[in-house]
Every structure is written in structure tokens, then in C-alpha cells.
């Protein structure tokens, strides 16, 4: 499955990702893609990952970073972002907040998995994040991630749960059939 298709779509299989500790050590994350490709947690322009949240506690702080969090597994979380309290109990509903505001998490009923898109403030126009189902055409620089077992087909290649496809050409066009919930992240700036 790895490699680049004829239309500039690079496949990023979930099976090839390794787990790494959160920046604050409070959980585990798996990097899906980043810009630049070899960026760490302190020097990315943007970063897309899946995070396992197994217990209550603070989220890692990311100075000068904004983020979109989408819960994809579990019952939910009670988040306190600075003075703002929010309940995140709907799967596949993106939530925006600042990465440098202290954020504390209380799990509602067991562990969750979050799909995260983070970007450096001031590094250009932020990426757009949508969770879709159905058939559409993805155009330009984008990352497509299958978020459930129903999967997706992009540019004729099947994506299983958490597999991804990265389009890095502004003129790229790929048909997407999202049988299940599928994240589409579009980037106005160059991707890796």
C-alpha cells in the first residue's frame, strides 16, 4: 500500500506509525503527517496525529499553536480550556481551541482517541478540517484519513481505519468515496 500513485497521492498506512509519548508524558500519540516531514513537537508548521487519552489530566501545551480536535473513539471528555468548559461527547465533530491555553481533561466513561490537527499561528492560513461521508472530489493540497472501520477509497486505493492519503500538488485531483467517517484536511500552504 505505501508509495505514491500516478496522480500524486502518497499513501500513509496506519500500520507503519509508531506510538510516541505526549509532549508532557501524559498519553500516547501517533503522527500521521507533518510539515516539515521530520518536524518534532516543537518545530512543526502543521501536524496531524491520533492521540490515545487513557486517563484524566492536562493536555500538552503548544505555544503559538492552534488546534482542531475531533474525538473518534470513546464516550467523551469534559475539557476545561482556560476558563471555558466544554463537553466533547459527539464523535466526528471538530472542536477548535488554542494549544497554548492550559487545557485539562476529565474522561466521561473510559479512554478516547482524538484526531488532532495543529498548526503554528502566524505561519499562513490555517488548514480546514471536515469530516465527511459520501462521494466527492478532493482538489489541491490535502490529507484524507479514514476514521472508522467502514473506510474510504481515494484515487482508487482503499483506506482502512486510520490509513491516510496525502496529496501534495496544488493541481492534484482525486476522487474520494468515504464509506465511513473520513477526515479531509486541506492546506493552503505547501505540504511535505
d(Cα 108, Cα 83) in Å, to the nearest integer? 19
pLDDT at 26: 76
21 and 87 co-located in one domain: yes
The C-alpha cell at 43 is: 518545530
Last residue of a domain, one of 92, 120, 148: 120
Its domain, for residue 173, covers 3-13+126-186
- Taking the CB of residue 5, how many other CB atoms lie within 10 A of it? 16
Q: Would you call the peptide bond into 78 cis, given omega within 30 degrees of 0 as the criterion?
A: no
Instruction: Name the CA dihedral angle for 105, 81, 119, 148, rounded to a multiple of 10 degrees.
Output: 40
pTM of structure: 0.91
22 and 57 co-located in one domain: yes
Whether 86 maps to a domain, the answer reads yes
98 and 58 co-located in one domain: yes
pLDDT tens string 142-160? 999 999 999 999 999 999 9
For the chain, what is the domain count?
2
Amino acid at each position: 500500500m505505501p508509495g505514491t500513485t500516478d496522480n500524486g497521492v502518497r499513501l500513509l498506512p496506519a500500520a507503519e506509525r509508531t506510538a510516541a509519548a505526549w509532549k508532557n508524558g501524559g498519553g500516547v500519540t501517533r503522527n500521521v503527517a507533518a510539515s516539515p516531514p521530520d518536524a518534532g513537537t516543537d518545530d512543526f508548521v502543521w501536524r496531524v496525529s491520533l492521540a490515545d487519552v487513557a486517563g484524566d489530566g492536562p493536555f500538552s501545551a503548544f505555544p503559538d499553536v492552534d488546534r482542531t480536535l475531533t474525538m473518534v473513539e470513546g464516550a467523551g471528555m469534559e475539557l476545561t480550556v482556560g476558563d471555558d468548559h466544554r463537553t466533547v461527547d459527539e464523535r466526528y465533530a471538530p472542536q477548535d481551541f488554542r494549544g497554548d491555553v492550559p487545557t485539562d481533561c476529565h474522561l466521561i466513561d473510559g479512554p478516547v482517541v482524538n484526531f488532532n490537527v495543529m498548526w503554528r499561528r502566524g505561519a499562513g492560513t490555517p488548514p480546514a478540517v471536515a469530516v465527511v461521508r459520501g462521494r466527492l472530489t478532493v482538489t489541491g493540497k490535502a490529507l484524507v484519513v479514514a476514521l472508522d472501520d467502514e473506510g474510504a477509497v481515494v484515487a482508487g486505493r482503499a483506506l482502512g481505519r486510520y490509513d491516510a492519503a496525502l496529496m501534495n500538488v496544488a493541481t492534484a485531483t482525486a476522487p474520494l468515496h468515504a464509506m465511513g467517517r473520513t477526515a479531509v484536511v486541506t492546506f493552503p500552504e505547501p505540504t511535505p
